[in-house]
Amino acid sequence: MNYLGEAGLARLIESIRGEQKRMQDRLRSIETRIPASATWEGIRNLVRQGRASQYYAVGNRFVTAHDDYGAIEWEVVGLDVDTPAEEGLEHSMTLQARTLLPPMIFSEPQATYYAKERLTAGNYWFSLTSVDPQWGGGANLSLTLTRDLPAGGVLIFRWEEGTWSYDGTFETYASRKSRILLETGTVTSGAVGAQLSPVNDARRVRHGTNCWRDSTLRCYLNSDAAAGAVFSPVSPFDRTPDWDGTNGFLYGLEPEFRAVLGKVAVSEFDDETASTVTTEDLIFLPSFGQVYGGIGPAEGDSTPYPYYKFFTSTQRAGTDADESRIRTYNDTAASWWIRTPEGGCMSTTYYVNENGALSTAQADTKLCISPVCCIV
């Protein structure tokens, strides 16, 4: 029997990786049979006819214009992977931006309580969620409103990590969008007056939600509104994000390209209900499973995009560093969000770090964005 030995095995592995790299380069450089004068509408027609794979391959790239970000380079990461939301449509071409968008939070820190009806001035109390019990989590806290809180207003309990809950303070605002403070005050231990319920998880008040459906980043990516009109609350606890003075992402997208995009079903795990939530989105973030080879949480979209199988620099699915997942911002490798929450944490979300490996961050962390869309 002829054994390779360590040196021979190393040469064989290097040879396999070299051949893999050559195949990747060939896929990327495939000459399209579509003439240079082809339109986005023509490409969409091919997709709808189920013929896109005859002309395009995973790894092919396109460039579109954006009023706010200039040229955006998109790469085909899958064909007929995502499911169109519109009845009667069966096919899709999934594109992911290689051009990273500037750093942005996944979610704005949220409110503690949403007033469905007016709260008149007086005494109220609420029960904290049981997070950080060693610092008073789970306690009943009382407060006094000296001004009415109108219907649609919100109350925020400011309680920093590593401090006692009864040392926290509260603030009130006339609406989820308002940043004009109505009043602020302190709390005391105990239950005095009328109870405020339901209240938000303290981790989401500190750092925002890790639920894709309720994230302010989803709102931004799917908005075609001008600056100042982009934010639209989804959750009762939503708050105006710091980017509300920015145009929605769709607002500046090349019109001809925008016209061929269609909504697809986007499924993701919801940490609060421990169930799968499905949204219909034009623009979205990829999931854990789509980027990391189908591993990760069973809930949500776990089928890997073919791109991350064809162009991987590793030999099997995993969350380690991988060249195929590296993106750059201002010519420097940068971290970018994916939409999957870290289970049980309420405010922590996964992202791809500078080396392509998996990491987690609080939802109010600013990271770059590599959006995904579909021609349907």
Mean pLDDT of 152-168: 97
Q: How confident is the model at residue 339 (pLDDT cuts 50, 70, 90)?
A: very high
- Position 274 scores a pLDDT of 84
pLDDT at 311 > cutoff 80 = no
Mean pLDDT of 290-318: 73
pLDDT at 313 > cutoff 70 = no
pLDDT at 52 > cutoff 80 = yes
- Position 295 scores a pLDDT of 60
pLDDT at 357 > cutoff 50 = yes
List the single range of 27-31, 58-62, 365-369 with lowest mean pLDDT: 27-31
pLDDT at 195 > cutoff 90 = yes
Share of the chain above pLDDT 90, in %: 77
- Position 31 scores a pLDDT of 41
**What is the pLDDT of the chain when averaged over all its residues?**
89
Q: How confident is the model at residue 86 (pLDDT cuts 50, 70, 90)?
A: very high
pLDDT at 28 > cutoff 80 = no
Task: Name the residue ranges covered by the structural domains of the chain.
Answer: 61-108+208-375, 113-199
pLDDT at 247 > cutoff 80 = yes
User: Which of the pair, 258 or 1, is modelled with greater confidence?
Assistant: 258
Mean pLDDT of 313-340: 87
pLDDT at 135 > cutoff 80 = yes
With a CB cutoff of 8 Å and minimum separation 6, the contacts of 343 are 269, 271, 297
Mean pLDDT of 209-227: 96
Mean pLDDT of 276-305: 83
- Position 30 scores a pLDDT of 44
- Position 299 scores a pLDDT of 56
pLDDT at 13 > cutoff 80 = no
Q: How confident is the model at residue 242 (pLDDT cuts 50, 70, 90)?
A: confident
List the single range of 151-160, 242-251, 256-265, 327-336 with lowest mean pLDDT: 242-251
Mean pLDDT of 238-251: 92
pLDDT at 241 > cutoff 80 = yes
- Position 319 scores a pLDDT of 86
pLDDT at 215 > cutoff 90 = yes
Q: How confident is the model at residue 310 (pLDDT cuts 50, 70, 90)?
A: confident
pLDDT at 1 > cutoff 70 = no
pLDDT at 18 > cutoff 90 = no
pLDDT tens track for 261-281: 999 999 998 888 888 899 999
- Position 244 scores a pLDDT of 82
pLDDT at 147 > cutoff 60 = yes
